[in-house]
């Protein structure tokens, strides 16, 4: 099998079905399988997926709990047989034979562990972040918050050809299987957010590069609920965990000090948005105790 395509579904079967159908519509000249992991959706949503099995060939794995993004994807990997792994958000759709392009590029470049793509919305507008730098001390202290400018200068290029980045969007990540395995795969402890930073950091430590492939795109119908208090909280929880896991104790403590100042000041002016992240950062310790998964 050339590519195993892994899709996580949670109460959004209509998106998942559209994603599956776009894969079958555009993917040619390679052997692939589709694995859908359902993260304990409502019964009606699962039945809709099961009914679609009558018209589309895919493997449906029903998780007995909501494992989140990382855990759900890793469960799908455990059933995969492909030499490459494509982790695709269920609210994504292909628009051309993208997987063949990525497969050919990956096979021609053994040093590449992961590939990402430009995201566009339904109207064809490009997303602000399809790739970016690690959100580390360098990022916070030197304001490297414009990826296009940063990488154009770094590579002395207009970025029209594939180029090395720190990380790509988790909405579409294409791995060599051996690279994914050597890096340890997605961390099931991460319920939401920063999964791509975590695994791309570990890929780099294993000697693999992450590349952004600008010669194809995919549509991403990004969720509309990312501004909720619960998800903003999870964003902070996951970030602290990834920093603490991948960097030294001293590095973590210094970055945490920077965040205490940052969120503390912002909390004065926008307490509803920033006080909860400030409180989590201030407490330190095991951030995952504040996770949605730990508190369900």
pLDDT tier for residue 167 given thresholds of 50, 70 and 90: very high
Please indicate, yes or no, if residue 156 is contained in any of the structural domains: yes
In this structure, are 209 and 109 located in the same domain?
Answer: yes
Average pLDDT over residues 92-119: 97
Q: What is the pLDDT of residue 225?
A: 40
Give the burial class of 157: count Cβ atoms within 10 A of its Cβ; 0-12 exposed, 13-18 middle, 19 or more buried. exposed
Domain end: 177, 198, 220, which one? 220
Rounded-to-integer distance, Cα 235 and Cα 253, Å: 18
Average pLDDT over residues 177-195: 96
What 8-state DSSP symbol labels residue 296? -
Q: Supply the mean pLDDT for the chain.
A: 93
CATH code, domain with 99: 3.90.550.10
Rounded-to-integer distance, Cα 159 and Cα 153, Å: 10
Taking the CB of residue 52, how many other CB atoms lie within 10 A of it?
18
In this structure, are 109 and 46 located in the same domain?
Answer: yes
In this structure, are 241 and 212 located in the same domain?
Answer: no
pLDDT in tens, 225-266: 444 667 878 999 999 999 999 999 999 999 999 999 999 999
Q: What is the pLDDT of residue 295?
A: 61
In this structure, are 127 and 237 located in the same domain?
Answer: no
In this structure, are 112 and 173 located in the same domain?
Answer: yes
> 3-class SS at 37?
strand
Domain that holds residue 63: 3-220
Residue 224 has pLDDT above 50, yes or no: no
Q: What is the pLDDT of residue 296?
A: 55
pLDDT in tens, 116-141: 999 999 888 888 899 999 999 989 88
Please indicate, yes or no, if residue 296 is contained in any of the structural domains: no
Q: How many folded domains does the chain comprise?
A: 2
Q: What is the pLDDT of residue 232?
A: 79
């Amino acid at each position: 099998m050339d590519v195993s395509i892994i899709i996580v579904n949670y109460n959004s079967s209509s998106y998942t079905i559209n994603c599956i159908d776009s894969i079958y519509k555009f993917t040619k000249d390679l052997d692939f399988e589709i694995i859908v992991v359902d993260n304990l959706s409502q019964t009606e949503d699962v039945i809709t997926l099961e009914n679609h099995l009558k018209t589309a060939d895919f493997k449906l794995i029903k998780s007995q709990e909501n494992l989140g993004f990382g855990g759900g994807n890793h469960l799908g990997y455990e059933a995969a047989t492909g030499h490459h792994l494509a982790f695709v958000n269920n609210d994504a759709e292909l628009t051309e034979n993208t997987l063949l392009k990525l497969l050919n590029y990956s096979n021609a470049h053994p040093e590449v562990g992961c590939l990402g793509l430009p995201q566009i919305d339904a109207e064809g507008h490009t997303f602000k972040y399809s790739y970016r730098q690690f959100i580390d001390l360098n990022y916070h202290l030197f304001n490297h918050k414009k990826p296009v400018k940063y990488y154009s200068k770094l590579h002395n290029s207009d970025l029209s050809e594939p180029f090395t980045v720190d990380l790509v969007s988790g909405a579409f990540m294409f791995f060599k299987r051996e690279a994914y395995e050597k890096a340890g795969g997605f961390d099931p402890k991460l319920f939401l957010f920063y999964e791509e930073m975590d695994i791309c950091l570990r890929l780099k430590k294993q000697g693999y590069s992450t590349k952004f492939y600008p010669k194809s795109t995919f549509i991403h119908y990004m969720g509309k609920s990312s501004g909720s208090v619960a998800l903003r909280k999870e964003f902070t929880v996951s970030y602290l965990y990834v920093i603490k896991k991948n960097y030294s104790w001293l590095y973590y403590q210094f970055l945490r000090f920077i965040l205490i100042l940052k969120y503390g000041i912002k909390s004065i002016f926008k307490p509803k948005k920033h006080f909860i992240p400030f409180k989590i950062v201030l407490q330190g310790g095991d951030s995952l105790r504040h996770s949605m998964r730990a508190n369900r």
